[in-house]
Structures are given as structure tokens and as C-alpha cells.
Amino acid sequence: MDLRKYTKEYALVAFVFLFLALLLYWPMTIGITSTVPNGGGDVYQTMWNLWWVGYALLTLHTSIYFSNLLYYPIGANLVTQTLSPLAGILGLPFQAGGLLFEYNIIFFIDFALSGLFMYMLADHIVGNKYAAMLAGIIFAFSPMHIAQSLGGHLNWTSIEFVPLFILLFMLTIEKKKVIYSIGAGIAIIFVIFFGDPEQGIITLLFAMLILLYYAFSRKRGEILSVKFAVNLIVMIFVAFVIGSPFLIPIIEGMQHGALTEAAELNGLQQNMLWSDPLASFFLPSPYNIIFQPISNTYRQIYSVDPTERISYLGYIALLLMLYGIYISYKKKNYFVVTFWLVTFLIFAWLSLGPYLQVGALNTVGGLPEIYLLYRNIPVLNIIREPGRFDLITTIALAILAAVGFKELLLKLENGKHSKNYPVYVTAAFVFLILFEYSGFVTSGNEFIAPHIPKAYYQIGNSTGNYTVLILPATINPRNAPELYLGMQMYYQTAFKKPIITGYTSRTNLSELFPQETLPLVQAAAELEATGNLVYSSPIRENYTNLTLMWLYNYNTRLVAIIRQAYSQSELTQLADYLYSVFGEPVYQSNTTIIFSTQSALSRVGSSFVAYTGPDWYPGWYLCEGYGINCNATVESLWFGSNVREIVAYSPVAKNYTMKFQSFAPSPTTLSIYLNGASASDLVKEFPASGVQNETASLSLMRGYNFIFFYAPNSTSVPPYMDFAVGNISFS
């Protein structure tokens, strides 16, 4: 760790890895200000992250962990967002060349440092610089790392500080010097906040494994000393002090339930989606252009999400690992090899997820794995992608392969007369491993050149505080990862005004309320899914009026369409409808159509409007889940959690008649209340059984009125099964 002594060596090693990365990702190299990986919405979200950190700190002077620019008017809690704030801060000088330039500079630095820090760790453990170089290649250019980088996951491209922390943590144990514990404390903060909190959890889990291994070995005295305990405390203290600007908001967010949504998204089926199939350890990555023709035969094992399910280990690395284990045990060098072998097996096992998948995606069930135990550990279980445990698996593989390569060099040394033979042998193995892992050249399909329509820059130069609605504005599995939601966040970096939607990691469901209540947003989503511009609801109402009311409440001045999200027929339907509501578009290009809402919103408040909250669900749930003999009438009804609410806006005080259909699978009493829950607010109470047509007279006041449907809870589970209503109309 004598940096002065090894400066030239480390600079040369970093340059080699940088050169190889520039060669491998040549489209980004030649288009360093215009080209990024084709990572769907994830790459756009990452560029927004880089922009937001600097914009929040330097322009808004606010916390980076909350943004009212997304999901307006509720705003976005970014505690569980993949922000990588240190990358955003340290990358700010490069933002002068544009967000794409900043992204690419960080991207290539990641590869240079990944190779360098793995080289340093392997050199410390194995004691052979040629073997250490090979370990750096295995780690930096592993198929797992390449897949994450091409998936637009800059936070998981930045994995370089993990081997650096491991090196410093091991030196803290071995040397007992405070300088190493300080370095380890700083390194773990970079793991978490230059990379990703999930990396931090995985790395700390590995650090615990190191301590356990020492505790149950003959070297337990290394950690059972006062000096090590003091250094460990120093490491924790330094990490908290350095990371406190980021750690404290996260801790506060955890106390206020910020991780609740993360837990909800951690279901077994979702774990299965992002687990490693066993076969993926032994089948070359489909990103390798050399092996692409044969990978087409087994591509289905990656079809869910190749970014998370690619875990190819490589036969050269595996053979070197096995050779190193064999020779080490033959020489009775047990300690190091056994530890790294145990590490390799444990983290590879965790990466298999809750149930074993040999090939293609399985449904929940089958042979259970240890991840089932891990996922029940609070806080730690926010890692919903078991395949990411490959991070430590790859480090262990690299170390064990380095052990084998060192032994191979020693064996080849006999009879060799050229002192440069290790260089030639190492170069040959580097070439073969890169060939096996990447094929050297990636196809152009893996890269894109994002472009922000100039209209969004013009919006950014306009005065006034208002919001922008960009369609499509909801999740569509057809476009996963959420391409168009991420794209509009990228556009927002130009116009810097709030949008009603967004694309964030582990989104809190309450943040989605605005887009769920906007009929236009839901109709556009239905258009993507079915090709028809429709909006379904228990209320038969003029939904243009409701859309305009919400746009008025959200102060939405512009509605835009991303043209490529729709087919030509779909685009025609949507554009024609918006034209009928808002008039001629104010901007059109081959990518974007923008309408002004100002003229249409002037009519808001002059029409009756009724709408439901987000807790109403289509009646086919009744048919699918609870064995009710349904017909078309019942299927058109809606249900929700008790109590169900309708909000009615009346421009003047007036009497209305509300007609609707009710359905009760068993006899019950249905009550309707207006604006309250007391006896004086009761409008009507009547027995309900089967499908009935009902009428209620309402005396509505000027403004907003609240109509409640209520039935006593019965023994049915869940209680909202007591009744359903639909086909509601007002006159």
C-alpha cells in the first residue's frame, strides 16, 4: 500500500484496463458526448440522477432525497432511489460536456478502477502481479459486470470500491494500523454512495463472513484483540462521519417507513425473476457477439431480464480455479484457498434465489435455497435481486483463478529461458478470457444516442410555475424497463418543471395517486395495451371534464406525446382526442407533439364532475378470486375496501338523482352517506342481494361533495366482498 512506491505500477495497470474498456465499448468511445448503453428507461433514470444531485445541491439548495419535480403534487421520496450521490457530486465537473459525457466518463473510470483495485487485492493475497492482472480482468470484464453496464445500471457498473474495501479491511485485520481502518471506512461509503446501497449490504455481509472465518480458525487471535477492536470502531466512526450527509436521511426515511414499499416489491415471484438460473453459470452471455449464434438457442433463460440473470463464470477461470484449489491442497496451503472457496459457494448459492431454476424461469416452488432464509432478515432483504450476490462470487472466482494461474506460471517456469515468458503467457490468457467473456466487440444495438427535443429547452426558458404531462405516463410491461417514463425524466433535465409521473426505484404507491386519478393517463395506458382509447370506471361520466379538473388542480399547462410509444393508429386516436379537447398543437416534430391546456382549462368549474378514488377495482376480481357465478352485468361492477367513496363536484347547489347497480353475493344492508358518517348524513339505506338497480336523491352543495357507500363487514375475507356497485350516473 506504499502509494509512492507503486504509483507508476498502479497508473500503468489502470491505463491497461481503461484502454481495454475503450476498445470493448467502442461506440461510446467514438461518441463519448452522444452515445450511452441501450438500457431502456434505466439509463435515462441514471442520467436524471446525475443531474438531480447537482441541481438539488447547487440550484435548489435542498435535500437530494426528496424531489417535488416527480409525481407532482405528492413528490418523490428518493431514499430508496439508486441515486449514487457521490458519483453525481464527483461527476459534476464533467457535466459541462453534457449529461451523456458525464455518464461516459464515470462509466470508463469504473472499468479502469475495477481492474486496478481487484489487481491490488489479488496481488496482496496471491503475491504475483501477473496472476493479479488476470484477476483484474476476470472481475472488471466479467459477464455479470458487462451485463449490468449494458443494462444502463451505472450504480452497478461502479463496483470498483468493493475489492478496495475488502483489501483495506483485510489489512486492518492483518496489520492493525489505523490508516487502513480509516481507508476501509472511506471505501465502504464509496461502495454505498458511489455505487449502490445493495452493494454496501452485500459487502458488509462478506465482511461478517471474513470475521466468522477468522473466529473459527487458528487465526482467531487476529480479531480477538483490543487493537483490532479499536480499529474496527475507528472504521465505523469514519464511515458514519464521512457518510452522514447521506446516511442520516436514509435512516430517517427507514424510521418513517420508506422501506415498506421495498418490502412489498420483494415477493417470491419477483425474487425468482431476478435470480440466476443454474445453467447461466455455464452458458456464455448473449452479449458476447462471438457466441451470440449459439446463445440464441438458450436465450429464454435470460428473457425476463438479462441484466440480472447473466452470471457466466467462464471455463478458463473455472479451470484455473480448480487447478489452484488442487495444488494448494496438495501443498497443504489451506487457509486462504478454503476461505475463498467457501465464499464462492455461499454467494453463488445465494444468487440462485429462493428456489432453484435450472434453466428458464420457474414459478415459485421447487427445490428451496438459502436465499429463503436471507430474505426474512429485516433491512437486508431490500436486495430483491438475488443474482446480484454474483458480485462477491466473481471476486472469489478471480482470487481462486489467480491462485491457479500463479501455480501454472511456476510450473511453466521449469525449462523456460526467456525471462519475459510470464508476460506472454499472461497476455495469451487475458486475450482468451476477454474472448470468452465479451468477444471484444459489442453490436451497435447495445447503444443509443439520446436526443432531447428542442421544445423542452424552450419550455425551460419560459416563465411561470406549472407542470407538464407527458404521455405515456404509466408503467407498461411491454416497454420494461420503463423506457418512456425514464425518457421523460431525461427530458425534464432540460425544462426543469414538475411532471405528474416518474420512474423511480421502489416507488411508494401513494406517489402514483395523480396518474391513477387522471382519466387521460389511464386511457393512454389502455391505448398502449389494447390499441383502443377508452377509460373504464364505475361512473358513467364525461371524463374529459374530469381530466380537465385534475389538470387544473395540478396546474398543468402542457400535455405532450412521445410519438414512438404508439403505433400510427394509436397515435392518430390519441392526437385526435387531444386536438378535440385542446385545439391545435403548439409544437410538432418527428418525436414529439405538445398541446397547450390553457384555453380548455378556462372552462373548469362550470360543469358537473364525479370521480372515484384509487381504491376501486374492476368486478372481474369477484369472478376470478371468489367463485362467484359472474355474467356480463356482474363483471361490469366495481368493488373496493370499505368504505367506498365518490367525489362529486357541482358548480351550483342543486338536487341530483344518482342511479346505479349494486351486487351482493349474500344478503346485506347497503347504506349511502353524503359528506359525513353520522345519522344525519344518511341518504338511503336498503337491503341488497344479488344484482339490483337502485336510485338515490342527493342534495349537493356548491363545490366538492363526498358520497360514501357502506355495508357492514361480514365473515367474508376480505371484507370488501360484501358488495359491488357500478354503472353510476347522475342527472
**Of 194-208, 243-257, 282-296, 343-357, where does mean pLDDT reach its minimum?**
243-257
Phi then psi for 662, rounded to 5 degrees? Answer: -120, 155
- For residue range 599-636, what is the model confidence (pLDDT) as tens digits? 999 989 888 999 887 678 887 777 766 566 677 777 78
- Would you state the torsion angle of the CA atoms of residues 525, 527, 529, 535, taken in this order, to the nearest 10 degrees? 60
Answer yes or no: are the C-beta atoms of 576 and 542 closer than 8 Å: no
- Percent over 70 (pLDDT), the chain: 94
pLDDT score recorded for residue 603: 87
Answer yes or no: are the C-beta atoms of 559 and 594 closer than 8 Å: yes
Cβ neighbours of 556 (radius 10 Å):
25
User: What does the pLDDT average to over 504-517?
Assistant: 82
Question: How far apart are the C-alpha atoms of 646 and 683, rounded to whole Å?
Answer: 14
Cβ neighbours of 464 (radius 10 Å):
7
Could you give the angle at the alpha carbon of 203 between the alpha carbons of 202 and 209, nearest 5°?
Answer: 95
- Please give the span between the terminal C-alpha atoms of the chain, in angstroms, as a whole number: 81
Please determine, for residue 31, whether its predicted confidence score (pLDDT) is greater than 80.
yes
User: What does the pLDDT average to over 292-307?
Assistant: 85
Please determine, for residue 540, whether its predicted confidence score (pLDDT) is greater than 60.
yes
Please determine, for residue 53, whether its predicted confidence score (pLDDT) is greater than 90.
yes
Place of cell 363483471: 635
Please determine, for residue 555, whether its predicted confidence score (pLDDT) is greater than 90.
yes
Question: How far apart are the C-alpha atoms of 453 and 445, rounded to whole Å?
Answer: 22
427's CB contacts (< 8 A; 6+ apart) are: none
DSSP string computed for 431-487 = HHHHHHHT-S---GGGEE-----HHHHHHHHS-S--EEEEE--S--GGGTTTHHHHH
Three-state secondary-structure class, residue 364: coil
Average pLDDT over the chain reads 90
Q: 378: phi > 0 → left, psi -120 to 50 → alpha, else beta; which?
A: beta
Please determine, for residue 323, whether its predicted confidence score (pLDDT) is greater than 60.
yes
Three-state secondary-structure class, residue 685: strand
Please determine, for residue 341, whether its predicted confidence score (pLDDT) is greater than 60.
yes
Please determine, for residue 543, whether its predicted confidence score (pLDDT) is greater than 90.
no
Phi then psi for 141, rounded to 5 degrees? Answer: -115, 25
**Of 15-24, 227-236, 243-252, 485-494, where does mean pLDDT reach its minimum?**
243-252
Which is nearest to 605 in space by CA: 696, 688, 702?
702
Three-state secondary-structure class, residue 319: helix
Residue 391 banded pLDDT, cuts 50, 70, 90: very high
**Of 14-28, 161-175, 472-486, where does mean pLDDT reach its minimum?**
472-486
Spacing of C-alpha 33 from chain mean position: 25
Three-state secondary-structure class, residue 696: strand
Q: Which residue has the higher pLDDT, 55 or 714?
A: 55
pLDDT score recorded for residue 619: 79
Please determine, for residue 713, whether its predicted confidence score (pLDDT) is greater than 70.
no
Tell me the three cell numbers of residue 14.
489502470
Tell me the three cell numbers of residue 53.
444531485
- For residue range 398-452, what is the model confidence (pLDDT) as tens digits? 999 999 999 999 988 776 666 788 999 999 999 999 999 987 656 668 899 999 9
Cβ neighbours of 620 (radius 10 Å):
14
Residue 714 banded pLDDT, cuts 50, 70, 90: low
pLDDT score recorded for residue 430: 96
Three-state secondary-structure class, residue 595: strand
Tell me the three cell numbers of residue 455.
421544445
State if pTM tops 0.75.
Answer: yes
Element (H, E) at 556: strand 556-562
- For residue range 79-99, what is the model confidence (pLDDT) as tens digits? 888 999 999 999 999 999 999
Number of DSSP helices (H) and strands (E) in the chain, helices first = 30, 16
pLDDT score recorded for residue 666: 75
- For residue range 90-141, what is the model confidence (pLDDT) as tens digits? 999 999 999 999 999 999 999 999 999 999 999 999 999 999 999 999 999 9
pLDDT score recorded for residue 379: 75
Please tell me the number of Cα atoms within 13 Å of 670 on its side-chain side. 29
User: What does the pLDDT average to over 43-63?
Assistant: 97
Answer yes or no: are the C-beta atoms of 561 and 574 closer than 8 Å: yes
Element (H, E) at 705: strand 703-710
Task: Report the largest interatomic distance among the alpha carbons of the chain, rounded to a whole angstrom.
Answer: 104
Three-state secondary-structure class, residue 175: helix
Radius of gyration of the chain (CA): 30
- For residue range 244-294, what is the model confidence (pLDDT) as tens digits? 999 998 888 777 666 555 545 567 888 898 999 999 999 999 888 888 888
Residue 299 banded pLDDT, cuts 50, 70, 90: confident
Question: How far apart are the C-alpha atoms of 493 and 504, rounded to whole Å?
Answer: 15
Residues constituting the chain: 731
